[in-house]
Amino acid sequence: MGKEIERKFLVKDSSFKMEESVKAMRITQGYLSSVPERAVRIRISDHQGFITIKGIGDKSGASRYEWEKKIPEKEAEELLKICEPGVIDKTRYNVQLGKHKFEIDEFHGDNEGLIVAELELKSKDEFFEKPQWLGKEVTGDVKYYNAMLKKNPFKKW
């Protein structure tokens, strides 16, 4: 349990796939609760289930409470059936640059065309290398939160 410090950026193009993308995995996720004060997410990734609780972010949107536990895939499948309407479908690419790992989500379905990179840091002002494919920072912009993308998908913007 604890706080995560995370910055989020739009991705300008798919050239990140030419970088040191060490893994690509398909992710399906839904929300039992999508209110900002306590988002409860169910996720299936690489045949493993997860339940995650996220609290409301600080003023910058870079830091918020997060708790996550692995659960059996079958249990996650059952919980997805009772989630709020709307499912997030995406492929996640992990790209290691120096000592930092970017998690890049390429969205499918109603969010097709949206590519977002997230970077976990030890502090909000920690220095990190910015690759050429990294675009505008959207940290704290709630419309890019997965819980909001299921309610107001990218194709409707």
Give 64-92 pLDDT, tens digit per residue.
889 999 999 999 999 999 999 999 999 99
Q: What is the pLDDT of residue 124?
A: 82
Quick count: other Cβ atoms within 10 Å of Cβ 61? 18
Q: What is the pLDDT of residue 62?
A: 78
Q: Are 39 and 31 a contacting pair, CB within 8 Å? A: yes
* DSSP symbol at 84: P
Residues with a catalytic annotation lie at: 31
Q: Which of 54, 55, 63 is nearest to 125 (CA)?
A: 63
121's tokens: 């840091």
CATH of region 2-156: 2.40.320.10
Q: What is the mean pLDDT of residues 27-35?
A: 96
Q: Are 64 and 4 a contacting pair, CB within 8 Å? A: yes
Q: How far apart are CA 11 and CA 103, in angstroms?
A: 11
Q: What is the mean pLDDT of residues 111-134?
A: 94
Whether the pLDDT of residue 41 is over 60: the answer is yes
Q: What is the pLDDT of residue 37?
A: 86
Q: How far apart are CA 9 and CA 136, in angstroms?
A: 6
Q: What is the pLDDT of residue 115?
A: 97
Provide the residue ranges of all domains of the chain, joining segments of one domain with +.
2-156
What's the Cα-to-Cα distance from 110 to each of 14, 19, 60, 65, 105, rounded to whole Å? 19, 27, 27, 28, 14
Whether the pLDDT of residue 25 is over 90: the answer is yes
Residues 148, 151, 152, 154, CA torsion sign = positive
| Residues constituting the chain | 157
What's the whole-model pTM score? Answer: 0.89
